[in-house]
Amino acid sequence: MAKTIAIIAALDTKGEEARLIRDYVAGQGLRPLVIDTGVLGEPSIPSDVSRAEVAKAGDTELSELVRTRDKARAMEVMTRGAGQVAARLYAEKRLDGIVGLGGSAGTAIATSAMRALPVGVPKLCVSTVAAGDTRPYVGTKDVTMMYSVVDVAGINRLSARILTNAAGAIVGMVAAEPPRLAERPLVAASMFGNTTPCVDRARKTLEEAGYEVLVFHATGAGGQTMESLIIDGFIAGVFDVTTTEWADELAGGVFSAGPHRLEAAAKAGVPSVIAPGCLDMVNFWGPETVPEKYRGRNLYKWNPNVTLMRTTPEENAQLGRIIAEKANLSTGPVAVLIPLKGVSQLDSPGGAYWWPEADRALFDAIKQNLRKDIPLIELDYNINDPEFADHTASVLLEMMKGAGD
């Protein structure tokens, strides 16, 4: 049976574009399924899922939206409904991939449908806002954003090429078959450039022990994605040695993962090891983006686009309390490991962020606030020393063995 690609768009304003993609998909031997998310104008092509169905899935009658002509409410309803429709189609095995198109409103609606689908289902959105901050649209899912270059407003020589590229891309994604890999229990690991040696070494140890390691870059979205997979039950153990996103949450950096970071494994009872990796730094973009109140701080140009700021003893004391409080939520095996010779590459003797007093404030706060029954292991190494990585990996392996994976 041919695979199905859903095409989601407001057919009163994006009907021509949807038709181009629909015809391309059909011409490749796949089945197009058109979802209409328009409200006020008349659709220019027929749909397989009508706008009335989408509105009803959003708990509102389409006639009510048409009558009130409240664009904000219509946007809210169709966004909610699009997610419900996509999830239902996938559950009914009527959707193998999805492509959407639009401006800011159309992108919000289409990507809400995409975020309702599991990781791995092909998702592509052609959007006028894809060249900007796409985090609100992508969330924690594998949504591919394609910049439309010109407005999604009819077919011209440039848009026809771009839309055809998009159609070819989603067809290719849906047709592609991933390699068959051995099914092994999954371990989630958090990593940053400043903890890469630690995680790389531990990953080899964990893989040799029969686990598959998924590494998440601690850039906010990375931590959120890792937590979502833990919540969804995919993860057997967590090697959470890069908790730096909490420094950004506390100080207003650009890589915050929000106030619930470190809660998923704790509440799900998944075995986890925690270390205060990279809590010596807060992340900003270029130097000009550092807030004025921080301009006199110890700043480090990590690369042309990322500027780091050293955390202070006062901030580290707060971070230590937060790490302990999150660990205290644990309903399953957990251990906290402290690298006494620094929490990052920069925070090592002679390094740009080596500040023993700040580290001591962090470590003391963890010890003072951590639940007494949670193992606290202090090691006289830097977080990137092989000995620290080996010991931390062995603690997690023992936990997972005891929990039966």
User: Contact at 8 Å (CB) between 263 and 326?
Assistant: yes
Largest Cα–Cα separation, the chain: 70
Concatenated DSSP letters for 213-236? EEEEE-SSHHHHHHHHHHHTT-EE
Q: Report the pLDDT averaged over residues 25-38.
A: 96
Q: Cα dihedral sign for 188, 191, 195, 196?
A: positive
Domain ranges of the chain: 4-175, 186-403
Amino acid at site 262: L
Distance CA 211, CA 190 (A): 16
- Mean pLDDT in the chain? 95
| Integer CA distances (angstroms), 28 to 4, 167, 176, in order | 11, 10, 14
Coil, helix or strand at residue 197: helix
87: phi then psi, degrees, rounded to nearest 5: -65, -40
Q: Is 120 left (phi over 0), alpha (psi -120 to 50) or beta?
A: left
Q: Which fold has domain 4-175?
A: Rossmann fold (3.40.50)
Angle at 270 between CA 268 and CA 275, to 5 degrees: 115
**pLDDT surpassing 60 at residue 405:** no
Which are the contacts of 56, defined by CB distance < 8 A and separation ≥ 6?
62, 81
Residue 154: pLDDT band with limits 50, 70, 90: confident
Angle at 171 between CA 166 and CA 177, to 5 degrees: 130
Distance CA 295, CA 349 (A): 24
Q: Which CATH architecture has domain 186-403?
A: 3-Layer(aba) Sandwich (3.40)
Question: Which pLDDT tens digit goes with each residue over 348-396?
Answer: 999 999 999 999 999 999 999 999 999 999 999 999 999 999 999 999 9
Distance CA 127, CA 108 (A): 10
Q: Give yes or no on whether 4-175 and 186-403 have one common fold.
A: yes
Residue 133: pLDDT band with limits 50, 70, 90: confident
Residue 1: pLDDT band with limits 50, 70, 90: confident
Coil, helix or strand at residue 97: strand
Question: Which pLDDT tens digit goes with each residue over 262-291?
Answer: 999 999 999 999 999 999 999 999 999 999
**pLDDT surpassing 90 at residue 140:** no
Coil, helix or strand at residue 11: coil
